[in-house]
């Protein structure tokens, strides 16, 4: 008598989900080389960002950070199950399914934006000489001194943010006043900037803030010196606007804050520029 072979549906096999993940890598790689595909994802982001931000903005805590904690906890659980050799095939399938979902969501809602047309292509090309850098440095040094006189200080003479909510509101409103030859993206003016739950880790790593593509929240380290926080908010909000590259988020953050009526935001922006110079 022949032993009966137990057959499983294809979706219950590791190689199926590994193949799907590989197919995704190849698909998005090819899409990143096609202008039409990039434009499609850029348009999709523009259409969905308002409801995406609205969905999580009302929560008083970072939903994205809670999501990361749950995902990491689940992955640790799967690793432990694999080490214990408990139904390894099922645990591998769960892991691969989760990776497929996370990768697809990341690429559709965010990853493809890294291949947008560069902002620098919309600006005149010009070589910056050292003498010009020195002039700019002195200019922003003086600007920092002037704007520093307009901000609030604590009893020790240290810069203290006057009203954080006012800064967030100013950033969102100013985003819609940027020059159209540089920016055609529209801000939904939804405040979804939240302090990160991982500020302890951020203090050690030097991370000032980050954008969560799964919940469209802009996270910042609330333990930062007050000097850094306004510009960090402006930078992370630029990601919410649709600028994925770090340099471009810095540039948009600079445009938002350089002539701001909010003294705290203006000072923080000028200070960032001075440091960069």
Q: Are residues 138 and 79 in the same domain?
A: no
Interval 118-168: pLDDT, tens: 998 888 888 889 999 999 999 999 999 999 999 999 999 999 999 999 999
Q: Are residues 96 and 172 in the same domain?
A: no
Q: Are residues 108 and 199 in the same domain?
A: no
The residue segments making up the domain with residue 95 are 10-115
Query: Quick one: pLDDT at residue 90?
Result: 82
Q: Are residues 71 and 143 in the same domain?
A: no
Residue 249 lies in a domain: yes
Residue 1 lies in a domain: no
Query: Quick one: pLDDT at residue 249?
Result: 97
Query: Quick one: pLDDT at residue 87?
Result: 72
Query: Quick one: pLDDT at residue 121?
Result: 87
List of the chain residues with pLDDT < 70: 1-12, 86
Domain total of the chain:
2
Residue 5 lies in a domain: no
Q: Are residues 20 and 150 in the same domain?
A: no
CA dist 224 and 208 (Å) reads: 7
Residue carrying the six token digits 């090309």? 125
Q: What angle do CA 202, 206, 210 make, to 5 degrees?
A: 60
Q: Are residues 99 and 128 in the same domain?
A: no
The residues, ordered by sequence, that sit 6+ positions from 59 with a Cβ below 8 Å of its Cβ are none
Q: Are residues 43 and 171 in the same domain?
A: no
Residue 220 lies in a domain: yes
Q: Are residues 228 and 157 in the same domain?
A: yes
Give the number of other Cβ atoms within 10 Å of residue 241's Cβ. 26
Cβ contacts of 136-142, under 8 Å, gap ≥ 24: 136/277, 137/274, 137/277, 140/270, 140/273, 140/274, 140/277, 141/274
Q: Are residues 150 and 101 in the same domain?
A: no
Residue 2 lies in a domain: no
């Amino acid at each position: 008598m022949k032993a009966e072979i137990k057959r499983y549906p294809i979706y219950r096999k590791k190689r199926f989900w590994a193949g799907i993940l590989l197919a995704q890598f190849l698909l998005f790689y090819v899409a990143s080389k096609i202008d039409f595909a990039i434009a499609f994802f850029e348009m999709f982001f523009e259409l969905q960002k308002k409801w995406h931000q609205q969905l999580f903005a009302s929560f008083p805590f970072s939903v994205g950070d809670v999501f990361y904690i749950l995902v990491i906890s689940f992955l640790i659980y799967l690793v432990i199950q694999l080490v214990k050799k408990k139904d390894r095939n099922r645990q591998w399938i769960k892991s691969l399914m989760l990776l497929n979902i996370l990768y697809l969501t990341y690429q559709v809602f965010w990853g493809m934006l890294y291949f947008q047309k560069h902002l620098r292509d919309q600006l005149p090309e010009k070589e910056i000489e050292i003498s010009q850098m020195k002039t700019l440095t002195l200019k922003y040094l003086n600007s920092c001194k002037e704007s520093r006189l307009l901000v609030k200080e604590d009893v020790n003479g240290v810069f203290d943010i006057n009203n954080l909510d006012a800064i967030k509101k100013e950033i969102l409103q100013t985003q819609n006043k940027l020059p159209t030859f540089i920016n055609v993206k529209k801000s939904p003016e939804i405040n979804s900037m939240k302090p990160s739950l991982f500020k302890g880790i951020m203090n050690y790593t030097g991370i000032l803030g980050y954008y969560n593509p799964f919940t469209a929240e802009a996270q910042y380290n609330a333990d930062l010196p007050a000097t850094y926080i306004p510009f960090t908010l402006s930078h992370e909000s630029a990601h919410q606007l649709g600028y994925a590259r770090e340099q471009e988020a810095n540039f948009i953050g600079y445009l938002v804050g350089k002539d701001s009526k909010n003294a705290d935001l203006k000072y923080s922006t000028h200070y960032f520029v001075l440091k960069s110079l």
